[in-house]
Structure 1
Amino acid sequence: MVIGFFIMIVANAERRHAGLAAALHGVRAGDAMSSPVETCPDWLTVERCIDEVAMRARHSTLPLIDFEGRPSGMVHLPQLAKTPTPQRETLRVRDVATPLSQYTTCAPDDFLEDVLEKVHRSSGMRILVTDGQHLMGIITARDISRLFQRHALRGRERR
């Protein structure tokens, strides 16, 4: 019975993987991304970031932008919350952020299937879409799920 249950789990995972591959086939990153992206200037203090950006943000992770408008990292809101209150007035948000090098980036014309193969496992499902060195959009697990759902709807319409 345990072996049968294990086979059933593996078969379901394979079926979902095949469905996801079909849904993403030929899709470019630019077509999957959410845009515009809520960002935070990396030079703000943690306190200003919390007051001016994080309190109104719709997402739990924000891309950081440097003076030239280039992405420089990502800050997860719980990272801001963990910053001791006395340090929030002087510590820059870039000092508590995760560097851009630990995230996956791609161009809008890259195929999503190829991009997903390069995703940094430690950063979660967040892919920054850049055109040159400027942020164009972001791809999250929610965006991938939305593509999969649309593909499923199209498949049912054709029957």
Structure 2
Amino acid sequence: MPPARRPAVRVRDVAASVSRCTVAASEEAMQDILDRIGSATGTGTGSTTTTTTGTGTGLPVLVMEGGHLAGIITVHDTTRLVRRHTLGPAPGSARG
């Protein structure tokens, strides 16, 4: 975005609609979330085990706990998770 436009752009202009997001309970298994997203896009295994509170079908995933937003899982988060489990931790990484 050009610097000159930044003062005029509001959060609502760039935010993802909640209806496009997947909403999940904090105690759900990550694999179930990934399967659900994959099923919606035609790439998953079609798992139907879910305790979700929303009907969105993509990323980001809004993680809810007690009716409040507890966190957000982004494309970057899922990519990092997949890399970590297929390639192992990054060199010099403290986490594995």
TM-score for the superposition, normalised by structure 2: 0.51
Name which of 128, 132, 147 aligns with 2:81: 147
CA distance in 2, matches of 1:123, 1:48: 30
Do the aligned partners of 2:23 and 2:63 also contact (CA within 8 Å) in 1? yes
Q: Compute the RMSD of aligned alpha carbons.
A: 3.1
State the match for 1:117 in structure 2: 35
Q: Larger radius of gyration, structure 1 or 2?
A: 1
Q: Which runs of 5+ in 1 are unaligned?
A: 1-46, 55-74, 80-96, 155-159
- Which one has more relative contact order, counting CA pairs under 8 Å at least 6 apart? 1
State the match for 1:105 in structure 2: 23
Q: Which runs of 5+ in 2 are unaligned?
A: 1-6, 42-55, 90-96
TM-score for the superposition, normalised by structure 1: 0.33
SS, match of residue 118 in structure 1:
helix
- 1:76 Cα offset (Å): 5.6
CA distance in 1, matches of 2:13, 2:34: 21
- 1:103 Cα offset (Å): 2.2
Give a deviation string over 1:134-157, Cα, whole Å, max 9, x none: 001111111011112222225xxx
Count of aligned residue pairs for this structure pair: 66
Structure 1 or 2: larger helix share?
Answer: 1
Aligned sequence identity (%) = 32
CA distance in 2, matches of 1:135, 1:114: 19
